[in-house]
A and B are shown apart, each in its own frame.
Chain A
Amino acid sequence: SAVISQKPSRDICQRGTSLTIQCQVDSQVTMMFWYRQQPGQSLTLIATANQGSEATYESGFVIDKFPISRPNLTFSTLTVSNMSPEDSSIYLCSADPGGRIYIEKLFFGSGTQLSVL
């Protein structure tokens, strides 16, 4: 299993500002994943973050809006830039600590509840 710590747990931000979310895993992992969950909706993958390379973004998400860092094998950050009320969501980071080349069991942090005024 894995313990994934995410912070902040919640924040209220003003339109036009940026927020950086931190994610710490208690073991080394190859891939980390960032998801967005809009109110009452399912989870949508934002990007996959590999250590030492650029993050891979899904359709509809761009690096300028959601820059991601992955400085080592246990840590990643997601920044939500130039926020608008439409960015109000829960943001979750996740990882599979199994060390396999495929995803077997994904573990999630407790999420960041973001509200943009």
Chain B
Amino acid sequence: GIQVEQSPPDLILQEGANSTLRCNFSDSVNNLQWFHQNPWGQLINLFYIPSGTKQNGRLSATTVATERYSLLYISSSQTTDSGVYFCAVEKTDKLIFGTGTRLQVFP
């Protein structure tokens, strides 16, 4: 089956710093989504981004489908950005999740 790898696995930042999270996938996909799982376990959908670039406030995402990767940018990080970030790819009507990046932002 399709493999979805994320890097880095862990990231520690000071408030105000910028970061880039990467998602690589091993096969062509129909679409890609980014999620944030907060420290209480709730999953929030950040982006639906099968290709191109989208921005939402301090977050933006870029997917290059032909090269099978996606990037999530977090600018001016805040402590509330802490949690785990997952990318997930859709293939044959189901969403397959990546390995995740655990982000900790300290004041």
Contact = CB atoms under 8 A, between A and B. Distances in A.
- Looking at chain A's contact residues, is the secondary structure mostly helix, strand, loop, or mixed? strand
Contact of A42 (B30, B33, B45, B98): B98
A106 B45 contact: yes
Contacts of B1: 59
A103 B45 contact: no
Interface of A: 31, 33, 35, 42-45, 48, 58-59, 90, 92, 94, 102-108, 110-111, 113
8 contacts: A33-B95, A48-B93, A92-B43, A102-B30, A102-B93, A105-B48, A106-B33, A113-B41
Contacts of B78: none
**Chain B interface residue count: which class?**
20 to 34
A111 B95 contact: no
B93 A110 contact: no
B30 A106 contact: no
B90 interface: yes
Contacts of A108: 42-43
Contact of B86 (A31, A42, A111): A42
Given A33-B94, A42-B99, A106 B42 contact: no
